[in-house]
Amino acid sequence: MNVGRLSGGAVVVEEAPDPVAGSGEVVVRLAACGVCGTDLEKLRGNYRTAGKIGHEPVGVVDAVGSGVAGLRVGDRVFVHHHVPCLTCEVCRRGDLTFCPTYASTNLDPGGFSDRFRVPAENVDRSAVLRLDRSVGWEAGTLLEPAGCALTALRRVGFRPGDSVFVVGLGPVGILYGLVAISLGASWVAGAEIAPLRRATAVRSGFAAAVDPREPAALDRLVADATGGRGVDLAVAATGAPPAIALATRLARRAGTMNLFGLPESGGTLGADLQELYLRGVRVIPTYATTEREIADVHALLVGGKLDVGGIVTHTVPLARLPEAFALAGRPDEAVKVAVTGPAFGPGGSGPPPQTP
């Protein structure tokens, strides 16, 4: 079978043996897996976690090991790659994504594979979610990043009626705004350099999307929408230092800045800390998501409260994985790229939106 890996600073597709479902495990045949920004950062060497790629997969259960209840061959599923231990001090406090063992759980050999094995601990902790028939394959690949947004919104104390500004309108930045809208945000706008992504955000439901290189227009937009106060929640959905600095500036007095995008390795805050102190701006980092939020996002999709159509702009077959990574790194050409596997097609979401 085909397996996508990082090797020597490049993305490669190699042959590997088919995985086998052991006790408590399942094997899933890939339909699609999104290319995440963290996958790109791993390729660039800017991510300190393990180099395994592919963590937004959907597909069809291909084999079920002994002792597995509630799943059967043929089920359409989303699979979450990391699960917390649920027993350590961090988990007991409710900070599940910061569990010391969270990142050590993973799919074998990863989400960019014709077939992959889901470990018993992931199966046992509800990381395999059965997809409603109304959720197509492309939408399914967005469950994990949308779950990250929901985890973040809950962690920072978002409340219905809050105003939100997202700096960085890549796929996860757009999803962040859409999840906030579904939860009752009073106003959601954003800033992004790439025109395609600005247009996608507005078409998806953002009130406005501006170029951050036009600070006068940006400041006027925020001032007009908030009566000059600044937003309740400013989100740095990219780790670029200028974006983080901008987000801290846009938050109102006693407001919140969510450090959501992966910061550059060795990066610094790049903000006037005394000014933040005197304004009382809370800076809260958030990381990843859990099965609870993924299931809740799935319910929002099924209930029609969240519409993610149009965010996946390209699908590329797994055999051409290097092309998918190259395309995902060109924001003027693509918003979200999904890599397709052998289960993509009937029973999913129909033809791909665009194949380069």
The domain spans of the chain are 2-142+308-340, 149-285
User: What's the CA gap between 274 and 19, in Å, rounded?
Assistant: 54
The CATH number assigned to the domain with range 149-285 reads 3.40.50.720
Tokens for 191?
């800033």
Q: Could you report the per-residue pLDDT of 160-211, keeping only the tens digit for each?
A: 999 999 999 999 999 999 999 999 999 999 999 999 999 999 999 999 999 9
User: What's the CA gap between 255 and 272, in Å, rounded?
Assistant: 16
> Residue 303 — φ and ψ, nearest 5°?
-80, 0
pLDDT at position 337, please? 98
Looking at residue 18, what DSSP letter applies? P
- 155 Cα distance to chain centroid: 16
Q: State in words which class domain 2-142+308-340 has.
A: alpha beta
H or E stretch including 12? strand 10-15
Residues of the chain below pLDDT 70:
48-50, 346-356
pLDDT at position 30, please? 98
Sheet containing strand 231-236, strands side by side: 208-210, 187-191, 163-167, 231-236, 251-259, 282-285
Which pTM value belongs to this model?
0.95
8 A C-beta contact, residue 166 and residue 188: yes
Tokens for 349?
């979401």
User: What's the CA gap between 24 and 122, in Å, rounded?
Assistant: 9
Q: Could you report the per-residue pLDDT of 38-62, keeping only the tens digit for each?
A: 999 999 888 766 679 999 999 999 9
User: What's the CA gap between 287 and 273, in Å, rounded?
Assistant: 23
Q: Is 72 left (phi over 0), alpha (psi -120 to 50) or beta?
A: beta
Cis peptide preceding 109, ω within 30 of 0: yes
- 153 Cα distance to chain centroid: 13
pLDDT at position 281, please? 97
8 A C-beta contact, residue 248 and residue 271: yes
Tokens for 342?
């052998």
- DSSP structure string for 277-344: HHHT-EEEE-----HHHHHHHHHHHHTTS---TTSEEEEEEGGGHHHHHHHHT-TTT-SEEEEE-TT-
